[in-house]
Amino acid sequence: MRKKADLWLQAFEWFSNRYVLTAAIGLVWVTFISEIDLVYLAKSQLELNRLENQVAHYELEIEATGNQLVDLTSNPERLERFAREKYFMKRDNEDLFRIVAKEPAAKSRDTK
């Protein structure tokens, strides 16, 4: 029992120093109370990492699109194939039939 009392007395003496008390209050303020606290900083860092990953992803997509553009402008056969596949274009003497697969009907909640 005596050790606990000594510890409390030692802690009280330690925190009665005005510099330690000021530093402790400042640390609590910066950590939990202010607008830019540790939680805000952690969330901001997570969002920054997510956005940096997104930028890297879009840079890769831009590079792939640029390569595709170079390929399409340099090769007329590939340009024709791209136009036929993406935009369903056809020649004047052709007919184009587009077959679309039906999606399965969703089960209604009333049917049991």
Per-residue pLDDT tens, the chain, 112 aa: give them: 567 777 777 777 777 788 888 888 888 888 888 888 888 999 999 999 999 999 999 999 999 999 999 999 999 999 988 888 888 888 888 887 878 888 887 666 655 4
**Is 59 part of a structural domain of the chain?**
yes
The two structure tokens encoding residue 88? 């369903």
67 and 40, same domain (yes or no): yes
Closest CA to 86 of 67, 66, 104, 68: 68
Same domain, 76 and 44: yes
- The total domain count for the chain is 2
Asked if residue 105 is part of any domain, the answer here is no
> pTM of the entire structure?
0.54
Domain that holds residue 56: 35-92
Same domain, 24 and 52: no
Contact 54, 48 (CB under 8 A): no
On whether both 51 and 7 belong to a single domain, the answer is no
Together in a domain, 29 and 43: no
Q: What's the CA gap between 44 and 87, in Å, rounded? A: 42
> CA–CA separation, 95 vs 44, rounded Å?
56
